[in-house]
């Protein structure tokens, strides 16, 4: 699985999002999904994506805006999906920094061909040492956003993975509950972070009542302290 390209699908259409998740997974890709730009940012903060399949027409922030923002700091390939097929729309998409543009409705096989073509053209990253944080018998892979015990993956819910990814990116530093809530889509209910922390500790700690790795920093928030 480590050699399977990781694709992030961002689309506010729940049915299409889940269909694409299954179709791409059935065709040899690791797939994560997000319902909007805000959720996409949370996913990208917690994992490395090889390509983003991004819907243009989304509420709050559209795909063109997200593409332009990502291009300030990232070269991750982006394939835009849109119901608008006019030439001017395609040009705007490419000018925003997208690598390709596919109009809805589309043939699933064409999507596969476009993805394969983009990935072939994408520059191969230079080999670098695996980046992982040691948490006793567990290890958090920063590149794959995966928690492992030896050769076995430890199951995490999406919420747990997002939370652990954010804390791992700031390992050794406290992250406030409000920031964690905002970045995990719980801005209206920061206490939901406490629930996720409790659940995550049960998977990380020998004794969740006396946490060694996922610590509470009084008055500041939570901190991941690896070995």
pLDDT digits (tens, 9 = 90+) for 128-148: 444 788 999 999 987 778 899
Rounded to the nearest integer, the mean pLDDT of the chain is 88
pTM > 0.75: no
145-174 average pLDDT score: 89
What pLDDT is recorded for position 107? 93
The torsion of the CA quartet 187, 189, 191, 193, rounded to 10 degrees, works out to: -50
Tell me the CA distances in angstroms from 36 to 33, 59, 94, 119, 225, one per residue in order.
9, 7, 20, 23, 31
- Alpha-carbon distance 57 to 4, whole Å? 28
> What CATH number labels 132-224?
1.10.10.10
Domains 6-121 and 132-224 in one fold:
no
Q: Domain-by-domain residue ranges, the chain? A: 6-121, 132-224
Return the closest-CA partner of residue 51 out of 90, 82, 24: 24
CA torsion through residues 110, 23, 132, 127, sign: negative
CATH superfamily of 6-121: Response regulator (3.40.50.2300)
Q: Give the pLDDT of residue 217.
A: 93
* 59's tokens: 């509420």
Distance in angstroms (rounded) separating the CA atoms of residues 154 and 176: 26
The better pLDDT of the pair 2, 136 is held by: 136
Q: What is the predicted pLDDT for the residue at 79?
A: 96
Amino acid 125: pLDDT: 56
């Amino acid at each position: 699985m480590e050699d399977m390209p990781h694709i992030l699908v961002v689309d506010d259409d729940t049915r299409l999002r889940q269909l694409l998740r299954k179709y791409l997974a059935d065709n040899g890709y690791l797939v994560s999904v997000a319902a909007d730009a805000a959720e996409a940012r949370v996913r990208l903060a917690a994992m490395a994506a090889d390509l983003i399949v991004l819907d243009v027409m989304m509420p709050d922030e559209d795909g063109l805006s997200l593409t332009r923002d990502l291009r300030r700091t990232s070269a991750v390939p982006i394939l835009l999906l849109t119901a608008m097929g006019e030439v001017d729309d395609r040009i705007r998409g490419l000018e925003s920094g997208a690598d390709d543009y596919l109009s809805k409705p589309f043939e699933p096989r064409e999507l596969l061909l476009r993805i394969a073509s983009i990935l072939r053209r994408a520059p191969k990253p230079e080999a670098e040492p695996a980046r992982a944080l040691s948490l006793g018998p567990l290890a958090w892979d920063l590149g794959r956003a995966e928690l492992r015990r030896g050769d076995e993956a430890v199951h995490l819910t999406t919420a747990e993975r997002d939370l652990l990814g954010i804390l791992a990116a700031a390992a050794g530093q406290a992250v406030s509950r409000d920031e964690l809530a905002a970045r995990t889509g719980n801005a209206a209910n920061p206490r939901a972070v406490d629930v996720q922390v409790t659940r995550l500790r049960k998977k990380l700690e020998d004794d969740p009542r006396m946490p060694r790795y996922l610590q509470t920093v009084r008055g500041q928030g939570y901190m991941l302290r690896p070995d």
